[in-house]
Amino acid sequence: MKIVGISGGSGAGKSTVSRGLAKRLPNAVFIDVDPFFREATEKLESEVFKKIGVEKKEGVINQNYFFASQDAMNGWIEVIKDYVSNRIEEAVTKLGAGKDFVIVDWCYLPMCDYFFKCNLTLCIKADYQTRYDRLANRMKAIKSYTVQYGPSFYEYGEEAFANRVKFSAIDDFGYQSDYVIKNDSDMESLNKTIDKIADNLMEMSRPNINNKRITTGFRISEFSRQKDPRPIVQLRNGVVIADSTGINPITPKSSQIAACR
């Protein structure tokens, strides 16, 4: 089993790359970490506020505090990262059994110990304004808070929203991945890059070069706002599952679902 860790700032295109790899790689499972992230924040909320040294006011969403500054965001992640790392490991153990590839997608993965357990890491990047526009458009479409997506664009303060886009690009603060994908070009170019990574991952998984790590990054110059193809994943109790074709979702056994709650 090869574990592929994908990180990148909000709006960089992590889900697009993750879904693309899930579609191309044989016998793969895609685990979306965001549900674990929200779960950790909810359970450890009081510890987070103590860490960042503020008192929560009624009617203000947490993200307005957590993205008030770089230090506040770092404090938030510092408190919840071990919890999230344990949940990732639990999910990989249960849902990765018998799989050839496990794709783990989380913005803050490089700040989490699980980053160093991945066989290959990818950082997806795009310029600030591109990411800002993507995230704003996505949140405007959601329009309200949901368990799956979190607070909408309208519930963030303007400064906190801008800071989320800026501060979530944590690779720019010194974290290194095996691949850096610059995703501000057209979808055709991005798909070609995903093809190359998938090919290299399959080559890497062959027995004679089983421990080879890939260090060559692929860079793309520009991004198109073409709408993503229809989702190829399905949410199941905090874990996103996809089969090797990326088309027909696989429903895990009930024991696996329970283990990931």
210-236 pLDDT, tens digit per residue, is: 333 333 343 332 222 233 332 333 333
Residues 6+ apart with CB under 8 A from 30: 18, 19, 21, 22, 102, 103, 105, 233, 240, 241, 242
Position 147 scores a pLDDT of 62
Position 139 scores a pLDDT of 78
Measured distance CA(256)–CA(253) in Å, rounded: 5
Phi first, then psi: give them for residue 126, nearest 5 degrees. -155, 160
Cα–chain center distance at 99: 20
- Among residues 88, 53, 59, the alpha carbon closest in space to that of 71 is found at 53
Predicted confidence (pLDDT) per residue in 42-87, tens digit: 999 999 999 999 999 988 899 999 999 999 999 999 999 999 999 9
Position 210 scores a pLDDT of 37
Measured distance CA(95)–CA(97) in Å, rounded: 6
Predicted confidence (pLDDT) per residue in 113-137, tens digit: 899 999 989 999 999 999 999 888 8
Structure tokens at 236: 């199941």
- Among residues 237, 243, 240, the alpha carbon closest in space to that of 260 is found at 237
Position 93 scores a pLDDT of 93
**pTM beyond 0.85:** no
Longest Cα separation, the chain? 59
| Degrees, nearest 5: CA angle 100-184-106 | 40
Predicted confidence (pLDDT) per residue in 167-193, tens digit: 998 876 667 888 888 888 788 888 888
Mean per-residue pLDDT for 89-109? 92
- CATH class of residue range 2-259: alpha beta
Residue 4's H or E segment, with its range, is strand 2-8
Give the C-alpha distances (Å, rounded to integers) separating 177 from 41, 49, 54, 170, 238: 25, 30, 33, 11, 25
The answer to whether the CB of 14 falls within 8 A of the CB of 107 is yes
Average confidence score pLDDT of the chain: 77
- Range in 4-13, 98-107, 231-240 with the lowest mean pLDDT: 231-240
Phi first, then psi: give them for residue 112, nearest 5 degrees. -115, 145
pLDDT band at 253 (very low <50, low <70, confident <90, very high): very low
Between residues 123 and 247, which one has the greater pLDDT?
A: 123
